[in-house]
């Protein structure tokens, strides 16, 4: 299913529906699942699509703006979110992208 990103020393493009999707750049998810955003990352030399953010729930501040109508801006709720989920610096996890983009 996943093809290696590098073939003969060149980077294969990450295409979806005929358009190029950049690595490590979140975009609005339009599939069936109740997710807000997706992002392509490289893991083990292959592309991986990560979905994050539940479209049914609010967030502290949507930095991309597609779901800014669900911003609550409540510092206490933000602190509770981080106490439950923690933080990470691993760009290959949904937690990293949710923290960076939505909280």
- Sequence spans of domains, the chain: 6-101
In this prediction the pTM is: 0.78
Question: What's the rounded mean pLDDT across residues 69-96?
Answer: 96
Q: Find out whether 18 and 12 touch, Cβ atoms under 8 Å.
A: no
Question: pLDDT tens digits, residue range 16-73?
Answer: 555 556 889 999 998 888 999 999 999 888 899 999 999 999 999 999 999 999 999 9
Helix (H, G, I), strand (E, B) or coil at 16: strand
pLDDT of 4 reads 55
Segment holding 35, helix H or strand E:
strand 35-43
**Bigger pLDDT: 89 or 7?**
89
């Amino acid at each position: 299913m996943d093809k290696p990103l590098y073939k003969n020393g060149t980077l294969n493009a990450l295409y979806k529906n005929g358009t190029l999707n950049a690595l490590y750049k979140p975009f609005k998810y339009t599939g069936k699942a109740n997710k807000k955003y997706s992002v392509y990352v490289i893991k083990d030399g292959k592309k991986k699509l990560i979905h994050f953010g539940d479209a049914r729930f609010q967030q502290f501040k949507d930095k991309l703006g597609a779901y800014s109508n669900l911003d609550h801006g409540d510092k206490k709720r933000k602190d509770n979110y981080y106490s439950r989920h923690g933080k990470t610096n691993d760009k290959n996890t949904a937690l990293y992208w949710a923290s960076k983009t939505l909280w």
